[in-house]
Amino acid sequence: MITETTIPSLDIAAIRRQFPVLQREVKGHPLVYLDNAATSQKPKVVIDALVDYYSGYNANIHRGIHTLAEEATAAFEATRDTVARFINAASREQIIFTRGTTESINLVAQTWGRQQVNKGDEIIISGMEHHSNIVPWQLLCLEKEAVLKVIPVLDNGELDMDAYKALLSPRTKIVSIVHVSNALGTVNPVKEIIDAAHRQGAVVMIDGAQSSVHLDIDVQVLDCDFFAMSAHKVYGPTGIGVLYGKKELLDAMPVFQGGGEMIKEVSFEGTTFNELPYKYEAGTPNIADTVAFKAALDFVTETGKDRMRQHEDQLLAYATDKLQQLPGLRIIGQAAEKISLVSFIIDGIHPQDIGILLDTQGIAVRTGHHCAQPLMHRFGIPGTVRASFAVYNTMEELDRLIAGLQRAIKLLA
């Protein structure tokens, strides 16, 4: 039996005490939060960082010369430096703050895409993409009369890499691919995908919304052209995220939004745009959440991604083993390499009914299509129940999940 004692250096009880929400009850039961792929809970250091900003040095940034403005600017820009180290960007100028992964992908589609994609050109995505990595490219293809190609998904939830390589052609302009599937947990071979695309002269965008909290990210080793992530998946606040891009691409791309801060000089005759990274950061940014984002990344770094991943892998193995013993339960997505997420259905029971019954026992899971409707259609199902695990989850919580599912099968099957 897998136990947490196999990782003596990781004190899960001490980690749990850092997350205030984990101390609450839901409908008379201690909360079991297993919806981490949707958003992770926030440690007290992140909450404190938000409070400290608003109570101690709330001010607009970059242009003020008074003390509060200088303190706020320093804290804001310190987060940029921390993100650059977190993903090993070559320079801080390559880190663009956005509202999250969705806005980052849209930024690339509406700037690089509009500039580079022409009639008859090809864009490749995969059959396991989140809607936010489908719709922006569909819109671009409609506008430019380009062709959207889709990498098939195999029965085990992995990409058909032979089919991918056959899809590549001299007309391929960009490959935009999810690093880790939010619906299946599959870890895609993005380095292989990137290298193959580059051999055809295409650029590659990586959706790192799920991978950034679980996997070590080195954008220079990956050699990706763009990488997107969201703070709220990495124990940070909502409404803030990052677009990384290679400097030569970001320099050559047109601006995304017009306004303050993204300019050097404005006259009625014309405008001179600012240098990177501010060229893409129009208007007053989400200062407080950006400041708190640093605290979240520091929490992950100090806890240790390798130790976190080891604990999460143990949770995944334990949950997979226990779930497969339940009658009528089928796990959707059995890739050889996965992060700590299990997506499943139970014969004769709608996923939503399972989610509702689990909630009455204080257990939070996600049900539905997970913003991946084409992937659900691929498997011929309306949706799944998704249980996703974080560093603060325990084997005891998984036992409660299994007991809750046993009750659901008894009552609903």
So which residues are the catalytic ones? Answer: 371
Query: What are the tokens at 108?
Result: 């690339």
d(CA 114, CA 333): 35
Residue with the two structure tokens 């489908």: 134
Termini Cα distance of the chain: 29
Long-range contacts from 349-355, C-beta under 8 angstroms, 24+ separation? 349/408, 349/409, 349/412, 349/413, 350/382, 351/382, 351/383, 351/384, 351/385, 352/383, 353/408, 353/412, 354/385, 354/405, 354/408, 354/412, 355/385
Q: H-type helices in 131-215, by residue range?
A: 135-144, 161-167, 190-199, 211-214
d(CA 186, CA 138): 24
d(CA 203, CA 206): 10
The amino acid at 106:
N
Closest CA to 343 of 311, 379, 292: 379
Query: What are the tokens at 135?
Result: 């719709």
Region of 176 on the Ramachandran plot (φ > 0 left; ψ -120 to 50 alpha; else beta)? beta
What is the length of the chain?
A: 413
User: 328: burial class by Cβ within 10 Å (0-12, 13-18, 19+)?
Assistant: exposed
The amino acid at 315:
L
User: 322: burial class by Cβ within 10 Å (0-12, 13-18, 19+)?
Assistant: middle
CA distances from 107 to 66, 208, 220, 257, 279 (A): 33, 15, 21, 9, 12
